[in-house]
Structure 1
Amino acid sequence: MNKLNSVSNDQLAAIAKAIAHPARIQIIRLLLSKPSCIGGEITSEVGLAQSTVSEHLRILKTAEIVTGEIEHPRVCYSLNPEQLLPLLDLLQQIASSQVTNDETCCVSANDTLMCK
């Protein structure tokens, strides 16, 4: 049984929903670009209000995509890429099925979807 089969549809949807916002994608990319965890500079790097950044971080933390550790006097954030593996598995399966499946039931012709 692969990882994808052990993750429920609700769990996959929750992961996708957690990253489905441009500001959260920007935060994830920022965290990816830093070799260590970062804290307060997220707000200045993202260019949003502190309360808005905090809400986006809360959503990412709830989905366990981002972890936050208290290092007084601030919180240090880092990515938990393992949490995204089920979504990666699904996307890879979709991509590989499109590449290897020459027998599609519908084709696009002149901006119209036609079924065979």
Structure 2
Amino acid sequence: MGASKSEQFSTSQNDIARIAKAMGHPARIAILEFILQSNSCICGDIVNELPLAQPTISQHLKELKNAGLIKGNIEGNAICYCINESGFKKIEDFFTKITTVLEDKQNESHSSCC
């Protein structure tokens, strides 16, 4: 496999790709849904909810945090996780851009492509 050429793409493109990759696993979607439902939680809460081992959940949390989708604050001996709204704002902006362009194209004319 060739070397990554991520430096040839914009920061925004790399951010969206990182977020998409992090969200590309059903366990991470389940973790995000649980955190969203709970407003915040610790790893042990997620372990009690999902059929995954604690080290596996910790690894998924790390990926979500690295992608900017969650934040973690130390509370005593545990880390309390919550949704990082700025990460989801990037996703929202990306999909808004796509839908706006598609709507504009649809309003302009019906092209012969696709």
Give TM class, smaller chain: 0.7 to 0.9
Structure number with larger C-alpha Rg? 1
| Structure 2 length-normalised TM | 0.77
Structure whose residues are more often strand by fraction: 1
Correspondence 1:98 to 2:81: no
Q: Which residue of 1 aligns with 2:49?
A: 45
Q: How many residues align?
A: 102
Structure 2 portions without partners, runs of 5+ = 1-9
Task: Give the alignment of 1:22-33 within 5 angstroms.
Answer: 22-33=26-37
Give how far 1:70 is off: 1.6
Give how far 1:7 is off: 4.3
Q: Structure 1 residues 94, 104: CA separation in 2 closer, same or farther (over 3 Å shift)?
A: farther
Structure 1 portions without partners, runs of 5+ = 1-5, 107-114
- Write out per-residue CA displacement over residues 23-43 of structure 1, whole angstroms, 9 at most, x where no aligned residue: 1111111111113x2111111
Give the distance between the partners of 1:70 and 1:31, measured in 2 at CA: 16
| Structure 1 length-normalised TM | 0.75
Q: Structure 1: which 4+ aligned runs deviate by more than 6 Å?
A: none
Give how far 1:84 is off: 2.0
Structure whose residues are more often helix by fraction: 2
Give the distance between the partners of 2:90 and 2:78, measured in 1 at CA: 31
Percent identical residues: 35
Give the distance between the partners of 1:8 and 1:104, measured in 2 at CA: 30
Give how far 1:80 is off: 0.5
